[in-house]
Chain A
């Protein structure tokens, strides 16, 4: 899909962790520690859309924000084209900000209601000194055209646009600094289904045209299957399985992926749904179960799952899973 070396890794995330600590209660406050992101590692190749899926609260959005340092992670390493993202500061960080951008979930909260669209799109280019007034004005027009909006949109305000149009503006703002990788945080989940397809096609079009890579955060497996080439499935702050989208969804290695896939509706009325029942609720991230976090709900749970968190097992060079069913020694 992208030009150039498709196997080159652009973004590498290793052991990324983020813990939120809150004190609750009076007069004897109890410290609650939530491991939102726990030892997460993955790699995104050039021109690839890498999906992060999981239920709400599994830490997928926090992962996306932590690798952009919108939330400072506690531990781990993020490397973008050989550059240490977490150690960057000052001019170095500003330069990285141009390369790594984000598109948000809520198109209503993502635009400043008191700024015109033209201003919103021109401001990043002015801050990064990407040309004189006339050049920037010209670029605003071409950005609007690129996301499928008329040039007149520049003179309007956010409230004059629909959700789908606002999401296009949010995408144009991210594109304004010519990024190479975009973290798309549930970019279509707030939109009507009919609009979702349009926005996804736009993102895919940009991927091909600009050679963009994506970290695509979503909970909708159908959307991920359509949009992404690789995927990592997250459960309670950890990646439980990752690999090429087709392989992961067609032959899930982790029981959670199986359950997740079966919970996702298939657009075929004749398809018989074999409902594998998933037991219980998602446990609180503040107090995850001992051993494998998924074992209380897992249909294949074994005694070892209750005590030992399964080690990461590489099934093929591109596929890995954290499950005792696949641990070589079996233990």
Chain B
């Protein structure tokens, strides 16, 4: 078998020598706030993981004699009305915030992403019906939706995760559906059909990897929302039950003494603020990095 004509596509040099990943990193790296997000989020994850080692006191053990002490060298963030160390409770509270937000977004991403992918690929009337159902879900504000679900199922960790996941299913379905509709018309998908590939193979091997980045980026941005909703639900008493420390719950507990002991609510409030900011900065950086219109210089 003689090889075909020798190739000299010199006039036809490759247009884009850099790989997508290298370009994405350059964009991410160009904006330093992205790195602030990475570092702060990393620090909070480390804090949650190392809570038993780094927290100075037991977060649950009460010490009534030392109640409502202002911040001091002994108790950096002061103590609450049961004499529990606020710093230790903030450190331990990060666990609940992270577990709930990561787990609920993972569930929402999996369920919503699958719905969007399948709906967009099938198209037609089925797609229309599924997406209208998603619009109904979307019309509930996150907090109201969480409220309804937790009120129905009862407040505990798993129900909290289900409630928050449910509020984020519709957005993920939409985010996964849009690129699916574009990708299924692309010639490489048509080539797969011409080659006799199954629909499952086309969806999983040829469509999914091309929209995964977009969906994952959205996940990091929605995690910030999940943190907020978790804190809000805990604040109104529909979160994880006391005495387990949660940031939202701590703000609530500190509320009745807000004038005498403002540190009870301020420190967990700051913790929520910092985590949400970090996630948003990280998510913005990732979103820009996967935006094909931006090129890192």
A residues contacting B by CB (< 8 A) are 65, 68, 70, 93-94, 97-98, 100-102, 104-106, 109-115, 123-124, 127-128, 142, 145-149, 157, 159-165, 168, 170, 173-174, 176-177, 191-192, 194-195, 198, 201-202, 205-206, 209
A234 CB to nearest B CB, Å: 21
- Chain A residues whose CB sits within 8 angstroms of the CB of B241 once the complex forms: none
Question: Taking A146-B4, A159-B16, A160-B14 as contacts, is the C-beta distance between A127 and B201 under 8 angstroms?
Answer: yes
Interface size on B, residues (CB 8 A): 31
- In the complex, what distance in Å separates the CA atom of A68 from the CA atom of B192? 12
- In the complex, what distance in Å separates the CA atom of A100 from the CA atom of B191? 11
Among A100, A104, A111, A202, the residue within 8 A (CB) of B4 is A202
Question: Taking A104-B187, A112-B210 as contacts, is the C-beta distance between A127 and B12 under 8 angstroms?
Answer: no
- Chain B residues whose CB sits within 8 angstroms of the CB of A162 once the complex forms: 9, 12-15
Question: Does A70 lie within 8 Å of B1, measured CB to CB?
Answer: no
Inter-chain contact total with CB atoms closer than 8 Å: 110
Question: Does A70 lie within 8 Å of B190, measured CB to CB?
Answer: yes
- Chain A residues whose CB sits within 8 angstroms of the CB of B194 once the complex forms: 68, 70, 97, 100-102
Question: What residue of chain A has the Cβ atom nearest to residue B207's Cβ?
Answer: A112
Residue-by-residue, is B177-198 near A (CB-CB < 8 Å gives 1, otherwise 0)? 0000000001110110111110
- In the complex, what distance in Å separates the CA atom of A111 from the CA atom of B192? 10
- In the complex, what distance in Å separates the CA atom of A236 from the CA atom of B4? 37
Question: Taking A148-B6, A160-B17, A177-B195 as contacts, is the C-beta distance between A165 and B12 under 8 angstroms?
Answer: yes
At the interface, yes or no: B72 with Cβ under 8 Å from chain A?
no
Question: Does B12 lie within 8 Å of A94, measured CB to CB?
Answer: no
Question: Taking A114-B210, A127-B196 as contacts, is the C-beta distance between A161 and B187 under 8 angstroms?
Answer: no
Among A93, A113, A168, A191, the residue within 8 A (CB) of B196 is A93
- Chain B residues whose CB sits within 8 angstroms of the CB of A159 once the complex forms: 14, 16, 19-20
- Chain A residues whose CB sits within 8 angstroms of the CB of B195 once the complex forms: 97, 101, 123-124, 127, 173, 176-177
- Chain A residues whose CB sits within 8 angstroms of the CB of B197 once the complex forms: 123-124, 127
* A-B residue pairs in contact (CB < 8 Å), sample of 17: A65-B190, A70-B194, A101-B194, A101-B195, A123-B195, A123-B205, A128-B196, A146-B3, A159-B16, A164-B9, A165-B7, A176-B195, A191-B12, A192-B12, A198-B7, A202-B4, A202-B5
Question: Does A195 lie within 8 Å of B12, measured CB to CB?
Answer: yes
B197 CB to nearest A CB, Å: 6
B13 CB to nearest A CB, Å: 6
- 9 new A-B contacts at CB < 8 Å, known A101-B195, A102-B191, A104-B190: A93-B196, A94-B196, A97-B195, A110-B191, A127-B196, A145-B1, A146-B3, A159-B16, A165-B12
- In the complex, what distance in Å separates the CA atom of A128 from the CA atom of B194? 12
- In the complex, what distance in Å separates the CA atom of A230 from the CA atom of B145? 66
- In the complex, what distance in Å separates the CA atom of A158 from the CA atom of B210? 14
- Chain A residues whose CB sits within 8 angstroms of the CB of B209 once the complex forms: 112, 114
Question: Does B1 lie within 8 Å of A142, measured CB to CB?
Answer: yes
- Chain A residues whose CB sits within 8 angstroms of the CB of B295 once the complex forms: none
- Chain B residues whose CB sits within 8 angstroms of the CB of A114 once the complex forms: 209-210
Question: Does B20 lie within 8 Å of A148, measured CB to CB?
Answer: no
Question: Taking A165-B9, A205-B4, A205-B5 as contacts, is the C-beta distance between A97 and B196 under 8 angstroms?
Answer: yes
